[in-house]
A and B are shown apart, each in its own frame.
Chain A
Amino acid sequence: MLSANGNGVRPALIELTSARMKEFVRETEAIFWVFGFPLILTLLLGFAFREKPPDRIPVGIVTGPSAEARLKALSASPVLQPRIYSEQQGREELRRGKISLLIESSSQPVYRFDPTRPDSRTARVEADDALQTAAGRRNAFSARDEQVHEQGSRYIDFLVPGLLGMNLMGTGMWGMGFTIVNARMKKLLKRLIATPMRKSDYLIAQFLSRLVFLIIEMIVVVGFAWIVFGVRVHGSLWLFAFLCFLGGTAFASLGLLVASRARTLEAVSGIMNLVMMPMWLCSGVFFSYERFPDAAKPFIRAMPLTALNDALRGVMNDAMTMPQVAPQLINLAVWTVATYFIGLRIFRWQ
């Protein structure tokens, strides 16, 4: 297959792969849909669902000789948002719940608040602490905060593996399906089989060129999510890359099957959407499929995108290892092999 023949001619498999890659790179719109679209989607959804830090608690200070000093002291607290009011205005704001605590203008602070409101109690403790510290209180010991954020628990952490899976599905299936049907319509397939070209070389070349773009796709999406949203792969990067590869081949094979007989782009688009739609909806791209009825779950889990998304999420967010994602790996391998051989068997070259 890879034997070079004389005259400085490169093997057919390499020529076919490079021809396919050039064809793709020279199609500007295709580049946008493969690389630009998922980035824009990640960016939009990431910002829409980003988690804000907890709001500061608004606190009022009644104007008086020490008001400015108190304002300065309370501003130092990361929890409070102090502001100066007249006495009447301050009480009004407190009554309406616009502020959680009011500090009277007396020389010794008087805290006015409603103890049934949790943030008022927090504000009371925080404000007192800040004022005491500002007045020169010395702490008996210095404590250190250790803040705990559960890894991979944000929505963006859920979303990025799902988007990557969806993107691998879309580009894999379209990349194969569109190219093959287009070549069939233009009688290019027929022209190719009129040469001594091995048919398997043609199909393998389609897979190889997909693989090259899959690597770029993976790096772009994951790198982008890491830089912009701090989404990290907590598990093994190699396992993660292998999952992407297996997902890519599964969807390329499925694309081959879908395109194996279609004669027009309309026909292949129709079948393609029919196959992809259930996976967009059910495979947990944007939301977990846990809410679907239990009876539906075995079918949902059997879909290749579900397997890919579950495994990508497991490795990315929960640092799962190879044995833990074995069921998903097997699922994807079965889809790859089964659809490839059925597709090859019923393939229409003319």
Chain B
Amino acid sequence: MHESNGLAIACHDLRKYYADVKAVDGLDLSVARGECFGLLGPNGAGKTTTIEILEGLTKPDSGDVEILGWSWRDHDRDLRERIGISLQETQLNEKLTVFETLRLFRSFYKNGPRPDQLLRDLSLDEKRNARVGKLSGGQKQRLAAACALVGDPDILFLDEPTTGLDPQSRLQLWEVVARFRVKGGTVLLTTHYMDEAQRLCDRVAIVDHGHLIALGTPAELIARLEAANIIEFTSDPPISSDVFCNVNGFHGCTRRGEGWQLRVDSLAQAVPQLIGAVEQSGAKLRTLTTHEATLEDLFVSLTGRELRDA
């Protein structure tokens, strides 16, 4: 077994420019063995290009990539044996059954679990003889995960594994990731769901326009907001931020459409003061919501845009 400095994934100054866009623009990342690392960002942030460079499927314009201490140039086949990949939009052959598909993928690897065992682990054994074309979205994603796990990999790469899935299917997939980690596996996943990153990842890198804009554990990143809670409101007529910037525990605000998003310490103190301040200015509150700070709020505060429709 090949050993290295303990890093599962490392890349340095990665760049990939396309004609009209800088998809990856000088990215440094390192992922320790056994870690679950999340790449977070809106569509078009360069997440998929980044993960496909790390997977050895796309060549970077410049920069170095080491997976398990190996470079793709010298150890392509060795690496392929030891990583499992789920691409963003692969459509597996619809005419084959679940079991046939898994047996096909199993035949590419030297070692790995028996397809039947894997189907049980991923709760697909009832669909063993169903055609891939007849599966639901969640079942397809679990089969894609099974195809990624079939070579008993050290690292699992998942590109938006739960996009478009119903809540129950997402939970099932999260369990698959959790079980893989129990066995010491390393995971790199991309997502634009903040709750997914918070729930699954040890560390998260937030990327936008091919740049790293924040890196840390979910808790650290949220702490960076220096505020535990978020208030969002709209008023009639719209007001300027001078009206409310003196409320207790105010850490900052971001314009969101017609209204504002405020980051504050304590809702109990800030909300009554905010309502008073708005009324004093002569405006009327139209809507007001509050929640605990999340990675999504961090993204908004960092970029001024929302994740999902950025």
**What is the interface of chain A, defined by CB distance below 8 A to chain B?**
5, 7, 9-12, 14-16, 19, 22-23, 26-27, 183, 186-188, 190-197, 350
| Cβ-closest chain A residue relative to B106 | A9
| B87 adjacent to A22 (CB under 8 Å) | no
| A186 adjacent to B91 (CB under 8 Å) | yes
| A188 adjacent to B93 (CB under 8 Å) | yes
| B107 adjacent to A187 (CB under 8 Å) | no
Interface string of B73-107 (1 = CB under 8 A from A): 00001001100010101111101100010011111
| Cβ-closest chain B residue relative to A12 | B107
Interface residues of B in 234-284 (CB under 8 A from A): none
In the complex, what distance in Å separates the CA atom of A190 from the CA atom of B55?
11
Contacting residues, chain A, for B106 (C-beta < 8 A): 9
| B91 adjacent to A197 (CB under 8 Å) | no
| A196 adjacent to B107 (CB under 8 Å) | no
Shortest A348–chain B CB gap in Å is: 13
Return the contact of A350 from the options B57, B80, B92 (Cβ within 8 A): B57
In the complex, what distance in Å separates the CA atom of A11 from the CA atom of B108?
8
Contacting residues, chain B, for A26 (C-beta < 8 A): 95, 131
Interface size class of B (residues with CB under 8 A): 20 to 34
| B92 adjacent to A191 (CB under 8 Å) | yes
| A187 adjacent to B109 (CB under 8 Å) | no
Additional pairs, 8, CB under 8 Å, beyond known A188-B92, A191-B147, A195-B80 = A15-B104, A19-B93, A26-B131, A188-B91, A191-B85, A192-B108, A195-B85, A195-B105
Return the contact of B85 from the options A5, A19, A188, A194 (Cβ within 8 A): A194
Contacting residues, chain A, for B55 (C-beta < 8 A): 194
**What is the interface of chain B, defined by CB distance below 8 A to chain A?**
55-57, 77, 80-81, 85, 87, 89-93, 95-96, 100, 103-112, 114, 131, 147, 151
In the complex, what distance in Å separates the CA atom of A345 from the CA atom of B165?
39
Contacting residues, chain B, for A14 (C-beta < 8 A): 107
Shortest A203–chain B CB gap in Å is: 15
| A194 adjacent to B57 (CB under 8 Å) | yes
| B80 adjacent to A10 (CB under 8 Å) | no
| Cβ-closest chain A residue relative to B85 | A194
In the complex, what distance in Å separates the CA atom of A139 from the CA atom of B203?
112
| Cβ-closest chain B residue relative to A19 | B104
Return the contact of A195 from the options B92, B95, B96, B151 (Cβ within 8 A): B151
| A22 adjacent to B96 (CB under 8 Å) | yes
| B109 adjacent to A193 (CB under 8 Å) | no
| Cβ-closest chain B residue relative to A6 | B111
Return the contact of B114 from the options A5, A7, A188, A196 (Cβ within 8 A): A7
In the complex, what distance in Å separates the CA atom of A14 from the CA atom of B107?
9
Contacting residues, chain A, for B111 (C-beta < 8 A): 5
Given the interface contacts A195-B80, A195-B109, A196-B108, does A19 sit within 8 Å of B96 by beta carbon? yes
Given the interface contacts A188-B91, A190-B57, A196-B77, does A10 sit within 8 Å of B107 by beta carbon? yes
Q: Could you say which of B87, B91, B104, B151 has the most chain A C-beta atoms within 10 Å of its C-beta? A: B104
In the complex, what distance in Å separates the CA atom of A224 from the CA atom of B90?
42
| A16 adjacent to B80 (CB under 8 Å) | no
Shortest A303–chain B CB gap in Å is: 34
